[in-house]
Structure 1
Amino acid sequence: MKGPAIFLAQFASDEAPFNSLKSIAEWAGRLGYKGVQIPTWDRRLFDLKLAAESDAYCDEVRGVLANAGVEISELSTHSQGQLVAVHPAYDELFDGGVPKQVRGNPKARQEWAVEQVLLGAKASRRLGLEAHVTFSGSLAWPYLYPYPQRPAGLVEAAFDELARRWRPILDAFDEAGVDLCYEVHPSEDLFDGATVEMFWDRVDHHPRACLLYDPSHFLLQQLDYLEYIDLYHDRIRMFHVKDAEFRPTGRQGVYSGYQGWKERAGRFRSLGDGQIDFRAIFSKFAQYGYRGWAVLEWECALKDPEDGAREGAPFIRDHIIRVTGRSFDDFVATGVDAAANRRMLGIDR
C-alpha cells in the first residue's frame, strides 16, 4: 500500500496556499503526504483538457509536484461522472456546476460530462496513472424506497440505461490501460454491493469497472464494511480513508430526518474521531495484497479542515502495514522432502 495521500477537492479555495497546484502541493508535502488526488474540475489546480492533449503540460505538473515532495495518486472526475446519468428531479441542482452553454439542456450536459470523463482517461494515461475515480450518476435514486410500489421493470430499465451510457466509456479506459473506479456512494445508483453487481452484470463484468472503497458511506448505511472487502477486494483499486459515526436516537436513524450535517444521526468525522475500525480495514487490505494508495478524504462536520489534514497524514502512515515476506514459524521449517511426506501420511506402506 502507498501513502499517505490526500484528496484536494475539499481544501481548494481562492486563498493561499489552496489556490494553486504548486502551493497546495507544498502544503500537503509539509504535512507529510506523499501523494495528492486531484479534482479535475477545479481549474485553479488542474487543466483536464490540456493534460489529455499535452505531454509537456503533464511533465510540468509532475515536476511541480516532485518539487513539493509528492506525486499524483489519481485523478478524479466525480463532478463530471455524476452528470453522465441525472434524473430530471436533479436537473436544476446540477446545472449550477456546468458550463453556461450546456445549462438547461440535459442532453448537451450529458454529452459534456461524457467528454470530460473520456478526457480523464486520456489524461490519466499521459500521466502514467493506473486508476481513475468517478461517480456513476443516478437514474433510479428517487425511487430508492419501495413505496409507492415501484412498477415492474423500473429499476431494471434504469440499470440497463446506466450500463448503456457507461459501456463505451469503460471501453475507452480499457484502451487507455486505466481502471475506472466508481465511488460507491448514496445518491448514486451504485451505492452498495447489490447495486454494483447489477451494474456489472449489465456491462458483462467489464475488467475496467472497478471500485473505490470508502467505509464511511457504508457505516452510514449500516453495511458490513469489512465483509465488503472480502467480497470485492479483487475489484478495489482505490481507497478513501474517511471516518464516520452513526448514533441513532428516538428521533432519527439512517435517513437522519433532513437535518444538517452537525445534527444528523450519521455524519462524517475526521480520522480517529468516528467509529470506523481502521485497524481491521488496513489488515484486510494487507491480507489481500492491496497495492494502491491510501487517500485521506476530509469531510468532517465538526473539525477544522486544516486540523483534519494535519492529523490525517500520521494516522494513515501509522496504519499502513508493511506486509511480511516470511512466515513467523519459518524458524522450525523442515524443508521439502516428498518421500518423507509420503511416509508421514502412511502412503506406499
Structure 2
Amino acid sequence: MKSIKGPGIFLAQFMGDEAPFNSLDTIADYMAGKGYKGIQLPAWDGRIIDLKKAAESKTYCDELKGKLADKGLEITELSTHLQGQLVASHPTYNMMYDAFAPKEVHGNEQARREWAIEQCKLAAIASKNLGLTSHVGFTGALAWPFLYPWPQRPAGLIESAFKELAARWKPILDVYDENGVDYCYELHPGEDVFDGTTFEMFLDALDGHSRANINYDPSHFVLQALDYVQFIDFYHERIKAFHVKDAEFNPTGKQGVYSGYAGWADRAGRFRSLGDGQVDFKSIFSKLSQYDYDGWAVLEWECCIKDSDQGASEGAPFIEDHLIQVVTRAFDDFAATGADEEVNKKVLGI
C-alpha cells in the first residue's frame, strides 16, 4: 500500500486584494506558516501563476517550484475549475459566466468557450513542465437546468447533452494524455457530472478515456445524501485527486436536498470547516489508503460560519492527524510458520 501526501490547501478561496492574500509569495508564506506542505494553484489568477508562460517555459516552472521549495512547499495540482466550467455552459448562465473570462470575450459564448478550451490545454502542458501528473477542474454543464424532469424532458435530451459534452472534452483530454496528466473532475452540483451515475455516463460517451478521472470531494456527496465511502469502492481506480472538505446535511420538516434558495447558513445542506461537519474522514482516509491512493489530501475551505483564518489554522493539523502511514508488514507476522508447498499439502491432507 501507498501513503497519502499532505497536508495541502487550495488557494482559490483565500485570494483577496490585501496582503498576504494578494500574491503567491505572501500567501505561500502564510500557508507554510499554518503547517501546509502543498498548495493547489488556481490557474485563472495571474497573481498566482502565468499559465501561458508556464506552458511555454520549463525555466519559469523550475523557478516557480524552486521559490516554493525554499518555503517548504510543493505544488499539488493546478486548477482550471472556472475555465472548465466554460467549456460547456447553458445559455441561462451566460451573463454570470462572463465573470469567469477576460472582458474581450464577454457576451460571445463561442469566443469564451474557445478561450476556456485553450486555457485547459495550456494547463496540461504547464502541469507537465511543473512535474505534475494530476490536474483538477469542472466539466461544465449543458443539461443542468433540466436536472428535475418537470416539465417532462424531450426524449434523448440528456443523451444529446452528454454526447456534446464528451465531444468538447475529448480533444482536451487527448492533450492531457500527450502530456502524461490526468484531468480530475470535481463531481459537483451545477456540473453535468455531479455523481457516480453521471460520471459513468460521461465516461461512456468518452469511450472510457483514460485521462478522465475524479477529484474526490465528499462534501458534495453529503449534500446529495450519497454514500461517499462506498463511492470509493466503486471508483477508486479513477480517483486521482482529493479535496478534503467537510459538510453537513440536516433535513427538517421544511427543507431537504433542494434547499438552495435559502442562504448558506440556513440550508439543510451546508459546507463546514474541517471537523465541524458530518463527514467521516477516518473512514475516507482508511479507504483511500487501502486502495493505494498516493496523491495529495488538499483542504478546500468553505464554511458559512467559521472565519477562513481559523479554518486554515485548524485544517493542516486535522489532515495531518488523519494521514496514515501504511503497513510495511502484516500484524500477524510473528506467528508465521514459514511453510513451503510440501508442508501446505500435508496440512491440507493432499
Write the distance in 1 (CA, Å) between the matches of 2:124 and 2:53.
13
Aligned with 2:326 (options 319, 323, 326):
323
1:181–1:210 CA contact under 8 A, matched in 2: yes
Structure 1 stretches of 4+ moved >4 Å = none
Aligned with 2:63 (options 52, 60, 64):
60
Query: Which residue identity is paired with 1:302?
Result: I
Write the distance in 2 (CA, Å) between the matches of 1:344 and 1:249.
60
Query: Which residue identity is paired with 1:31?
Result: K
Cα deviation digits, residues 5-32 of structure 1 (max 9, x gap)? 0000000111111111111111111111
Residue number in structure 2 paired with 1:223:
226
Residue number in structure 1 paired with 2:149:
146
Residue number in structure 2 paired with 1:272:
275
Mapping of 1:1-349 within 5 angstroms? 1-256=4-259, 258-347=261-350
The 3-state SS of whatever aligns with 1:231 is helix
2:83–2:100 CA contact under 8 A, matched in 1: no
Normalization by structure 1: what TM-score? 0.98
Query: Which residue identity is paired with 2:198?
Result: T
Q: Which runs of 5+ in 1 are unaligned?
A: none
Pairwise CA RMSD of aligned residues? 0.7
1:7–1:296 CA contact under 8 A, matched in 2: yes
Normalization by structure 2: what TM-score? 0.98
2:243–2:298 CA contact under 8 A, matched in 1: yes
Write the distance in 2 (CA, Å) between the matches of 1:167 and 1:187.
21
Write the distance in 1 (CA, Å) between the matches of 2:99 and 2:191.
19
Offset of residue 257 of structure 1 = 5.1
Query: Which residue identity is paired with 2:22?
Result: N
Offset of residue 210 of structure 1 = 0.6
Write the distance in 2 (CA, Å) between the matches of 1:249 and 1:326.
48
Q: Which runs of 5+ in 2 are unaligned?
A: none
1:286–1:323 CA contact under 8 A, matched in 2: yes
1:220–1:246 CA contact under 8 A, matched in 2: yes
The 3-state SS of whatever aligns with 1:73 is strand
1:22–1:68 CA contact under 8 A, matched in 2: no
Offset of residue 97 of structure 1 = 2.4
Aligned residues: 347
Report % sequence identity: 65
Write the distance in 2 (CA, Å) between the matches of 1:335 and 1:235.
37
